[in-house]
Chains A and B, each alone.
Chain A
């Protein structure tokens, strides 16, 4: 099936540092989403993006919908220990509706973030 290339796979950073991760695809997406998964839990939605070029913030998190519609970026500023977890990007290719999978989300493989106090 379709794939999203998410990088980096893992990051080890010092508390207080800024973090950047991204997702790219060969296909054009009409929605980009960023999730965080705490250990042993389900992913939780952080930010949703709906328009090319859109820049959205949620506290210390900022995400952007790439101009080409084939990529998205997530930045975390001034990291803290509770930022530890796996961050997933997800994209939606086409319109949703019954009888097809176009509306389904496609997920990246995740970026595992470790923060050293």
Chain B
């Protein structure tokens, strides 16, 4: 079955460490997105990519980095510059070239700083 897979489901990070969240899709979608979710804040866009080897900053990109070397993969790195990284992170994808038919979301990664 086609879908979008995020891993790991739970991730613990020590202060000052970089961590990378994985997002893989086999839906042949062009566009991929990363969102951060905090209680009561809704979904906030971190980065998005509309095509391989290209990506754009969203509303809260500071302290995060991404790459899009393959159509299927859009990993997110939470760097030590992100001061409050504890949150639920959601990856999504869409086709064709946009959102008219909605995004397909992964099941999320919960990141906790310890």
Contacts and interface: CB of A to CB of B under 8 A. Distances in A.
Nearest to A107: B43
Nearest to A9: B40
**Chain B interface size range:** 20 to 34
B108 A40 contact: yes
Contacts of B45: 1, 104
Contacts of B106: 42
A109 interface: yes
Given A41-B107, A41-B108, A31 B99 contact: yes
A109 B41 contact: yes
Interface string A69-104: 000000000000000000010101001111101011
Looking at chain A's contact residues, the main secondary structure is: loop
Interface in A37-79: 40-45, 48, 50
A43 B105 contact: yes
Interface of B: 6, 31, 33, 40-43, 45, 48, 50-51, 54, 56, 59, 90, 92, 96-108, 110
Interface of A: 1, 9, 31, 33, 35, 40-45, 48, 50, 88, 90, 92, 95-99, 101, 103-105, 107-110
